């Protein structure tokens, strides 16, 4: 359960970014979380609400976009989205796909801010 540590970091990064704008308040925080990031969505949502209480982010909603795992298939010579993260094979030709393109992200994408 390291989502609390992640939520604290997220709150830090998000409030620093908000300060650089003319925000009077932060309405929503948009993040991308990959299936291989090691982060559990519900635990992050819960932790985020807890850490922003009484801070400049208080009341902000956390919106999590869950991404897909994408790998490069050397045989089809294209990116493929995996159906099962524990099976690193191309869903079309069944070749092993060692090269990960995305799916481990843990990214702050943007902020929805209110301005006066």
Partner 1 sequence: MTSRIVQVRQNILKKNDLLAGELRARFERAGVYVVSLVSSPGSGKTTLLEHTLAALAPTARVAALVGDLATDRDADRLKKAGVPVRQITTGTVCHLDASMVDDALRDWRLEELDFLFVENVGNLVCPASYDLGEHMRVVLLSVTEGEDKPLKYPTIFNTADMALITKIDLADAVGFERSEVVRNLEELRPGLHVLDVSARSGVGMPSWIARLCAARHSIASERVRT
Q: From the CB of 18, what's the least distance to partner 1, in Å?
A: 8
Q: Please give the Cα distance from 5 to 101 (Å, whole number).
A: 26
Give least dist CB 29 to partner 1, A.
9
Q: Is 41 in the site for partner 1 (CB under 8 A)?
A: no
Rounded to whole angstroms, how far apart are CA atoms 70 and 83? 9
Q: How far apart are CA 113 and CA 66, in angstroms?
A: 22
| Residues 86-105 within binding reach of partner 1 (CB under 8 A) | 86-89, 96-98, 100, 104-105
Burial 62-84 (b: 16+ CB within 10 A, else e): bebeebebbbebeeeeeebebee
Give least dist CB 53 to partner 1, A: 19
Phi, psi of 48 (to 5 degrees): -60, -45
Near partner 1 in 14-33, by CB under 8 A: 14, 17-18, 21, 23-25, 27, 30-31
Residue numbers at the binding site for partner 1 (CB under 8 A)? 1-2, 5-6, 9-10, 12-14, 17-18, 21, 23-25, 27, 30-31, 36-39, 85-89, 96-98, 100, 104-116
């Amino acid at each position: 359960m390291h989502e609390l540590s992640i939520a604290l970091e997220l709150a830090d990064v998000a409030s620093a970014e908000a300060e650089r704008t003319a925000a009077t308040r932060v309405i929503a925080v948009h993040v991308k979380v990959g299936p291989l990031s090691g982060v559990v969505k519900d635990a992050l949502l819960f932790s985020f609400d807890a850490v922003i209480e009484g801070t400049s982010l208080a009341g902000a909603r956390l919106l999590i976009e869950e991404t897909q795992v994408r790998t490069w298939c050397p045989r089809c010579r294209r990116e493929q989205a995996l159906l099962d993260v524990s099976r690193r094979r191309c869903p079309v030709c069944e070749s092993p796909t060692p090269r990960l393109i995305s799916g481990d992200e843990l990214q702050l994408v943007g902020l929805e801010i209110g301005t006066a």
